[in-house]
């Protein structure tokens, strides 16, 4: 097995762009085969705490609360992320508090779009609530990273 220091990562990225040309497709080329994201479904430890965090800290709106079709003790909630997209959470009270480990197939972070005003308000809210965060950029544009009560890594970005 080759030592990772021997890999030319920039050449590898260039080869990927050349092979798949995602950045070079002309307007009107083959359409994406889906209508985009309907919802992203995650698992939380405390459904009430999660709703409170995402509505009061992140500013989402609770849209729906239903039983999980697969396990009746589980609740499935949908939060409006904006842009016609939803962030959904399940709780599994009978499963206990075991956390997952980051690895292949797991999610690294959820990046949410924000206007400069939404971005600045997010930073203000995080500061006021004493929530640890890391700003990459300035007070008007960039990305702010923080974690929800279960440790899910979140980003609010203006897209630079």
pLDDT tens digit string along 6-59? 889 999 988 988 888 766 566 666 666 777 788 999 999 999 999 999 999 999
| pLDDT (0 to 100) of residue 106 | 82
| pLDDT (0 to 100) of residue 155 | 96
Go through the chain and tell me how many residues it has: 160
Q: Which residues, 6 or more positions from 5, have their beta carbon under 8 angstroms from its beta carbon? A: none
For residues 157 and 96, the model is more confident at 157
CA gap 149, 48 in Å, rounded: 11
| Domains defined along the chain, listed by start | 37-98 (3.10.180.10), 105-160 (3.10.180.10)
| pLDDT (0 to 100) of residue 99 | 76
pTM confidence score: 0.80
| pLDDT (0 to 100) of residue 86 | 96
DSSP 25: P
Task: Please return the burial class of 121, using the count of CB atoms within 10 Å of its CB with bins 0-12, 13-18 and 19+.
Answer: middle
Tens of pLDDT along 51-109? 999 999 999 999 999 999 988 899 999 999 998 899 999 998 888 777 777 778 888 89
| pLDDT (0 to 100) of residue 1 | 45
- Sheet with 39-44, strands from edge to edge, namely 39-44, 85-91, 71-82, 61-68
Q: Where are the beta strands (DSSP E) in 23-159?
A: 39-44, 61-68, 71-82, 85-91, 110-113, 133-137, 142-147, 153-157
Q: How many CB atoms lie within 10 A of CB 28?
A: 6
């Amino acid at each position: 097995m080759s030592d990772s220091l021997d890999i030319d990562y920039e050449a590898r990225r260039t080869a990927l762009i050349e092979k798949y040309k995602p950045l070079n497709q002309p307007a009107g080329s083959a359409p994406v085969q889906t209508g985009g994201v309907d919802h992203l479904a995650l698992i939380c430890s405390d459904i009430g705490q999660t709703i409170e965090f995402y509505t009061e800290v992140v500013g989402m709106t609770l849209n729906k609360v239903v039983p999980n079709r697969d396990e009746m003790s589980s609740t499935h909630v949908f939060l409006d992320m904006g842009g016609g997209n939803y962030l959904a959470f399940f709780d599994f009270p009978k499963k206990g508090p075991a956390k997952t480990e980051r690895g292949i197939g797991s999610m690294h972070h959820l990046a949410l779009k924000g206007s400069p005003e939404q971005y600045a308000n997010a930073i203000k809210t995080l500061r006021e609530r004493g929530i640890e965060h890391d700003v990459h950029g300035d007070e008007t544009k960039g990305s702010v990273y923080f974690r929800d009560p279960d440790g899910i890594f979140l980003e609010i970005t203006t897209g630079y």
